Amino acid sequence: MKLVFGDLQDMFQVMLILGMVTNTIAWPIDTFDVFDYGATGFGEVDDSQAFMMAWRDACNGDGSDEAGVIVPEVGTFLLNPIMFYGPCNPQIIHFIILGTIIAPSSPTSWDGLDSSKWIAFKDVIGLNVYGPGLINGNGMNWWDQSCQYHPDKVFNFLSCKEGTLSNLQIINSPQTHVLIIYSTGFNVDNLMIQSPQNTPNTDGIHIHSSHYVKITNSIIGTGDDCISIGDFTSNINIANIECGPGHGISIGSLGKDGEMVQVENIRVSDSSFTRTTNGARIKTWQVGRGNIRHVIFENLVFDNVENPIIIDQYYCDIRGTCKEEKTGVKISDVVYKNLYGTSSSNIAINLNCSRSVPCSGISMKT
């Protein structure tokens, strides 16, 4: 069955019908409502302080194994850059988003603030962030400016362990929508991530220096990679993703400044790509070193994709301007299994491997 969505709300309603999102919340024992800490929910007044105080009490609580912050359904909450620190006393801590959270819409509103991140969780163990709610990065006024001046990521998970992110709409980030970095055992499920097709560097989810990450059952359409896998990552499982528009699901780019690359045990399966620039992509810079190995792309469907299958070991800011190097990232043991569909270009499979450090162990199976 092919679903056609008129807008984000239509898409989310279908997710509800299909059971991808649940309105039944299993409340933790101790809950801390941001309204009780002075949040206005007007969408025009900064509610960051109320969120910080609710988090402080939930995180410091010692009366229960579980605690949670509640963002109520009735309300639109304006937040400036905010960091929620752990570790917390409860073994499991919930961050329950029922309403809408928005970022400041004007670039000048960020003057004097840390624009490297917007909503961030750091050093939290047993964190569960879920909805159904809406996170709006309000990136419209940023996209026509130089990317170096953008707020960097909407949702940041830094050094978190055994966490989850699920059942949310995340839209219109100035740049990357979700960053998972230095984290272990993190599961992402049932997200809808959207930004316009022509928006710069608006990756859906970026993973870096993280291990045992699972991303499933999500609809992602942005101006860049639906999911991108950065350096020092391993044991990543991506499944049941609807990708498009965007640049596909990418490993890389890696090794830009001659760094040592270490990426392994990556699996992308049971996913679809619709009118994307790329499908299953691996991209490295010639000056990089190290390895990408043990990668599986399986059960993927391509619909009018420009580069359905591509390995590019000559990735460059401006194609054709980077000179041949004697170094390179070794790409090995890559399996393509049961991939089918249509290409919008004449070259459906492009294995542009390095002469100096050639690919090895590349197999294609039906």
- 10-residue mean pLDDT series, the chain (366 residues): 40 43 56 97 95 97 88 95 96 96 82 80 98 94 67 84 98 94 98 95 96 98 97 98 98 92 98 98 93 98 98 79 76 97 96 93 94
Strands 184-194 and 211-221: parallel
**E strands of 72-183, at which residues?**
76-78, 82-85, 92-97, 100-102, 119-122, 127-136, 153-158, 161-171, 176-181
What pLDDT does residue 18 have?
Answer: 39
| DSSP summary character for residue 149 | G
The answer to whether the CB of 206 falls within 8 A of the CB of 213 is no
What pLDDT does residue 338 have?
Answer: 97
d(CA 275, CA 306): 7
d(CA 94, CA 240): 25
The answer to whether the CB of 287 falls within 8 A of the CB of 281 is no
| DSSP summary character for residue 11 | H
248: left (phi over 0), alpha (psi -120 to 50) or beta: left
Give the pTM: 0.91
CB atoms within 10 A of CB 22: 14
Instruction: List phi, psi (to 5°) of 110.
Output: -90, 0
Structure tokens at 127: 């964190």
- Kindly give the residue spans of alpha helices, DSSP state H, lying in 165-264: none
Given the structure tokens 């055992």, which residue do they identify?
185
The answer to whether the CB of 14 falls within 8 A of the CB of 47 is no
| CA 340 vs CA 180, 269, 300, 303: distances in Å | 30, 12, 7, 9
Structure tokens at 336: 């393509």
What pLDDT does residue 25 have?
Answer: 54
Triad 196, 230, 12: Cα angle to 5°: 35
Point out the catalytic residue in the list 94, 150, 206, 247: 247
What pLDDT does residue 8 have?
Answer: 45
223: left (phi over 0), alpha (psi -120 to 50) or beta: alpha
Long-range contacts of 141-148 (CB under 8 A, 24+ apart): 141/105, 141/106, 141/107, 142/107, 142/174, 142/175, 143/174, 143/196, 143/198, 143/199, 143/200, 143/202, 145/107, 147/175, 147/200, 147/201
Helix (H, G, I), strand (E, B), or coil: what is residue 200? coil
- Give yes or no: 247 in active site: yes
What pLDDT does residue 61 have?
Answer: 86
